[in-house]
Structure 1
Amino acid sequence: MKKTLTSLIVTGLLAGCTPAGVKNIPQEDFDKNFVFTQSYDEVWGSTVEWFAMNNIPINSMEKDSGLISSNHGLSPGSSVINCGEPTGNVGLYQARFESADSNINVLVREIGPEQTRATVNIFGNAGIVVRNGYGNIVSSNEVRCVSTGKLENSYENFILSN
């Protein structure tokens, strides 16, 4: 009788398990390329200032190549990146995001006299984990996060106002 009861409990717990995953990741449907009627130096200076005004640490800055990059560490719950909704469970224990990293790259290029193009790319990765009641990882997965367009919009408005 004990073996049957134990088997039923274990089977019930295992039947309530789904692996770590994600759902509802939106598609990016906004512009990442902006053309400004300002000189390269003006857009470059405003771009550096935009990073500072938004408390985004700069990891690499190369004016000759036009690239500024940051490993910002935006979280999946922020309004800047969207990693979807974590799925998966073991019994009553639900999947959750446990790690995330994000990158922000801005590429500034002179395309003509008093015309400069800037391309803003924001992306990241997040780890999804399902843990059991003892805190042990039962299932894990990694997902690519996408930008919501909020920082790109902020960038364009900031450069246009300077």
Structure 2
Amino acid sequence: MMVLLSWFSPIVLAQDALPTNTATIYSSLKARKFKVVLLNKKAFSTKSLDSLKGNTLYIYGKNGPEEVSLEIIKELQVAKRQRPIARGLGLGVLIGASTGALLGFGSYQEPEPNSYFTFDLGPGASAGAGAALGAVTGIVGGIIIGASSNRYTHYDFSQKSLTEKYDLMSRILEKK
């Protein structure tokens, strides 16, 4: 039996059958956010999962280095690489501007000459104005959609054996 003492409450762990000659697996996931949820419902966020050795995950959190046994991890959330707000903003501008340009170009009407001087910029000006209005609308919609999108990939550890947890964690750490 092993007792894990750290900033979270002590939890008694039963030793499972992990091979004793497991190599240290270093994380290839850099500059991402992680959220680790434990079986006792406590959770903490970190920017660095350092390595995995045996059934111990080494994490650098706000309180410095931590050792967490795989047995007490309930869930791991890994931030996705893309920034969803920026991605939504870009797509919103692109879709809004193109739709606005098409509507502006389609709604152009040649002016009727009423006086000695008639000023007409042609269909390009209507398309440009439509693109500008569409881009502004697209920015707002893109930010709303991007902010509401799921930014984390969730990995469930709760119903897995220790060897399954080890295999899953090693695959997560080796991802690029």
- TM-score over 0.5 (shorter chain): no
Higher normalized strand content (fraction of residues): 1
TM-score normalised by structure 1 residue count: 0.24
Q: With CA pairs under 8 Å and 6+ residues apart, which has the higher RCO, 1 or 2?
A: 1
Q: Which protein is bigger by CA-based radius of gyration?
A: 2
